[in-house]
């Protein structure tokens, strides 16, 4: 939680093809037009080392990557991201919007790769020194629809996306279970709604949170 600083940390989560990037960019534009400083970032990635780790873990052609190695690469990328980017931005009073965060590892590596939610959560709590979002926006998408949306643009599927629908079903269930375990810090929205309907609901919830954040104290 970021209660001791004035920024706000929002993570966007959901299956592949849920529309997270579209919603993050609409929210960023809406908040900026209201005078907030916003940082949009993503995982894996967000730092130079994180972008290298991203291509290591997502691109085809690095040979087989076992599940533990995969989980550690995502966690390493996240450690750099939390320490070098997210925490400093929050301390400056920035609203940070991250496309994916710890829940993605709990869902994809914990459930998808069967490493177990608890082990993956513990690893990532350590990696981030317990930096958690104030709000997680979960865009819930049926795996078959997510696949249709991704392949409509004929983009080549990465290592995760090309997994079977059954893998993506486990991930979806894991995301929903995470949201149910702490409903006050989640906004769960069915991703098939119109883009504008989704963005209005997200903005309403975030505005409520921002109204509750105390103003940044200026030095005398």
Chain contacts with ligand TYD (rule: CB under 6 A): 16, 20-21, 43-44, 58, 74, 99-100, 104-105, 108-109, 158, 160-161
> Whole-number minimum distance, CB 57 to ligand TYD, in Å?
7
> Whole-number minimum distance, CB 90 to ligand TYD, in Å?
19
Which residue do the tokens 């320490």 mark? Answer: 83
Q: Which of 175, 171, 176, 162 is closest to 111 using CA atoms?
A: 171
> Whole-number minimum distance, CB 120 to ligand TYD, in Å?
9
Nearer to ligand TYD, 16 or 142 (CB): 16
> Whole-number minimum distance, CB 143 to ligand TYD, in Å?
12
DSSP 8-state code for residue 100 = S
Q: Which of 97, 127, 82 is closest to 206 using CA atoms?
A: 97
Report angle CA 70, 74, 77 to the nearest 5 degrees.
140
Which residue do the tokens 């082990």 mark? Answer: 119
CA atoms within 13 A on the CB side of 87: 13
Nearer to ligand TYD, 99 or 142 (CB): 99
Nearer to ligand TYD, 24 or 206 (CB): 24
Residue 109: helix, strand or coil by DSSP?
A: helix
> Whole-number minimum distance, CB 35 to ligand TYD, in Å?
28
Nearer to ligand TYD, 38 or 160 (CB): 160
Q: How far apart are CA 64 and CA 84, in angstroms?
A: 30
Nearer to ligand TYD, 145 or 213 (CB): 145
Contact present, 74 and 15 (Cβ < 8 Å): no
Nearer to ligand TYD, 7 or 44 (CB): 44
> Whole-number minimum distance, CB 114 to ligand TYD, in Å?
13
Residue 40: helix, strand or coil by DSSP?
A: strand
Cα–Cα separations (whole angstroms), residue 190 to 14, 111, 129, 183, 184: 10, 21, 31, 15, 17
């Amino acid at each position: 939680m970021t209660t001791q600083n004035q920024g706000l940390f929002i993570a966007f989560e959901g299956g592949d093809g849920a529309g997270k990037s579209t919603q993050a960019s609409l929210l960023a534009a809406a908040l900026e037009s209201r005078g907030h400083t916003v940082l949009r970032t993503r995982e894996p990635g967000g730092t130079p080392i994180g972008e290298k780790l991203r291509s290591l873990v997502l691109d085809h052609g690095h040979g087989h990557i076992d599940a533990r190695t995969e989980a550690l690469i995502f966690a390493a990328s996240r450690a750099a991201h939390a320490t070098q980017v997210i925490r400093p931005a929050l301390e400056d009073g920035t609203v940070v919007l991250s496309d994916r965060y710890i829940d993605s590892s709990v869902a994809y590596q914990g459930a998808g790769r069967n490493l177990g939610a608890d082990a993956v959560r513990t690893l990532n709590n350590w990696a981030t020194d317990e930096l958690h979002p104030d709000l997680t926006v979960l865009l819930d998408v049926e795996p078959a629809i997510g696949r249709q949306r991704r392949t409509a643009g004929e983009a080549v599927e990465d290592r995760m996306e090309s997994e079977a629908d059954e893998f993506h079903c486990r991930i979806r269930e894991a995301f929903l279970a995470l949201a149910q375990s702490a409903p006050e810090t989640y906004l769960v929205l069915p991703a098939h709604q119109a883009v504008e309907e989704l963005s209005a609901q997200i903005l309403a919830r975030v505005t409520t949170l921002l109204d509750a954040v105390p103003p940044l104290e200026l030095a005398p």
